[in-house]
Structure 1
Amino acid sequence: MKMIKYFIGLLVAGLFMLACTKQDDYKKFTEGGEVVYPARVDSIIVQPGNKRLQLRLVLGSDPSVNKAKVYWGNRQDSLVLDIVRTTANDTLNVLISNLTEGVYNFEVYTYDTKGNISVVRNATGAVYGDDYASTLTNRVVKSLVKAPTGNVVITWMAPLPGEKLIEMKYKDLNGLDKTVNVPGGQLVTEISDYQDETTLSYRTIFAPDSNAYDTYIMPYVEKKLPVFEREFLKSGFNELILPTDVREGGFGWLMPFLWNGVYTGNGFATQPNKPLPVWFTFDMGVSYRINRFMFWMPSDRIFAKESVKSFEIWGSNDPNPDGSWDSWTYLRTCVSIKPSGQPVPTNSAADVAAAAAGQEFIMPDGIPKTRYIRIKVLANWGNGPFQAIGELTFYSKDR
């Protein structure tokens, strides 16, 4: 029994000593007071730049935080910043320069007024430089053409990654410099208010990251802008039959086929066996000054048969309803030219190509604006019994 009491006494003494030891250890770690960790930064926004970057340190609401320390380059470089509060949640901008191109890891700590240090907040970001810049180039213009409206349509090649925008400069209708920013990635751009035959300058601006601190700006590239000219809208054209006009010939070749946009189909054919000259009239819907027009022969009788060879074009804004000529203004005489000069009905490859492309007639300077057109046919290519035209397209410099 004495032996059992002895062992129980040893056990109790051991447990008491163990308890005292643990208690002493706790006191050892809390000497000097409880450990305090000030609030670390809420978040870090990394803004990549050219051989530099900016860290945006979003601070918490802990009012005791008065310093921040940033480490980078495996802690070989650091920066200490004083924090001056302006609002409950401030953002501290830290610009770090003279960096080499590459990826960096940043460690950010905050300190309070008693010198306590926070838990670390990490961030990773890239720095760009000459290697990146060497991969950049201005966007390439695939084509620069006039639309039927007279506007210039620029079609671009595919963009490089990181394209932010394309900056374009040109002179407007008043001769003033105008700047337009084309959104990055846009493939087609249209401009209308440009001054004829001036220069379009453009350059591409790159941002390597959506949060980039710096952009990369390419040198300007120049392109010549064309003379403004627009096609008359054929949707406004209508046949106008006046008392002295020749009618359609009953072949199914109707006058509206002259402006239906089909260059290889039927055109307009007049009544047969009418002595020349004969004339017909149509309404363009709006009064404009004609700069030039294109003329196509019917594709089944180029430089032959009843295809019109020579004609006059007249204009009016208020034609006399009796069909007389006193309200009409002569504009010019047009003669179709056969490239090969070979006799009818022989056509060379050049003749066929010219007919398919259409023949252009430039109008004299100073002619008046006109809404109504009268075509007076003087001759056809094969002395055929009627007169046939395939298609007509008119252009104006009026805006």
Structure 2
Amino acid sequence: MRRKYWVQALLALLILAGCGKEAVYNYTDPGAPAPAPITDIQVVPTPGGGYILYKLPVDPNLSYVKAEYELQPGVKSETKTSIFNDTLKITGFGDTRERTISVYSVGKNEKRSEPVTVHLTPLTPPVASVFNSLVVAPAFGGVSVKYENPTGTNLVTTLLYDSTGNGTWKEVRSYYSAATTGVFSVRGFDATPHRFAVYLRDRWNNHSDSLQKMITPLFEQFIPKNTWKALYLPNDGYQYVESFSLPHVYDGIWGSGRYDGIFASRHTLDIPQWITLDLGVTIRFSRMKVWHYFESPFAGASVRAFEIWGSNNPAADGSWDSWTKLSSFEFVKPSGLPQGQVTADDINYSVTNGGDFDFPVDLQGTYRYVRFKTVATYASSGPIGQVVLPEISFWGVIQ
């Protein structure tokens, strides 16, 4: 038995000794020459950039491939990719001028090959193509800006106005978004002519041209809530949980940390579900705001899609016969990120400031009673579900 233990111990020592001699694969030889350059180069232009395809040299010292280029005169940039790829992605150009790019093979010891010069003529960059889709139009109390961004590029849209009428430009708002369709409005202007300008900027600080336009905003006013009251009609979804009753939608309380200012319906109600309000005055509607609950911006029981209906003589039985549909709306996240991800801009839009929704400019009719019909939340599009609604506000013209 003792001999058996000695043999086992000897075998264990031999195994450990063998492990100690295992080859080291990440060894860097500082004296190794630079790798050979890449070969078989192909260039594929893209909007604002392009792809460089190539064949790697066969060299055990090769670590990565790097491209160096100028985005703008004096503004240098570079991109790298590992030996497990055969493509470099070039981005950040703000126009379609031909660019000269130097591409290097780089060794593990950071020695570079001789440069390979590549010429790339990018396609029209998003900052320019999106600019061509800009539409600036009158809105109630200000202007609206719309554009199409099919590539989903992160862009900043900046709106300015001539504050003196003599070319003294003042920034009104910068709108950050990667959404494929961008739309926003600015308010606070009287119904007199103003000169506005709008331009785009991307994350590489490329700027578009400036679109200038003389616009006269449409007159509107905030609809005071001291005349509002809740109506409790048959089939309405006014049944609530705990103390979160319907009048909270017009109590002027919302925002971060405000548990006391929300309406929260029961979890067992149908979706779609609706509530009815008497505004106390007859309105021609121009726009509205809807707030999300601070614990669930773009999530949970917060409203995702909804409709607004108007009436001047709602039926006592709660039927829809006396109602007119004014518009359908859906929340659009400024960041364009998928559900479950939000940015500070998303929270500011939905929780702090409230989501902006414009009624059609040519909307006909004036109404005293409104129905807010929730078509879907972020948690449910039916058949049942809860709706949490901190606040709604309206603007327009009181008749």
What is the TM-score normalised by the length of structure 2? Answer: 0.43
Which has the larger Rg?
A: 1
- Using structure 1 for the length normalisation, give the TM-score: 0.43
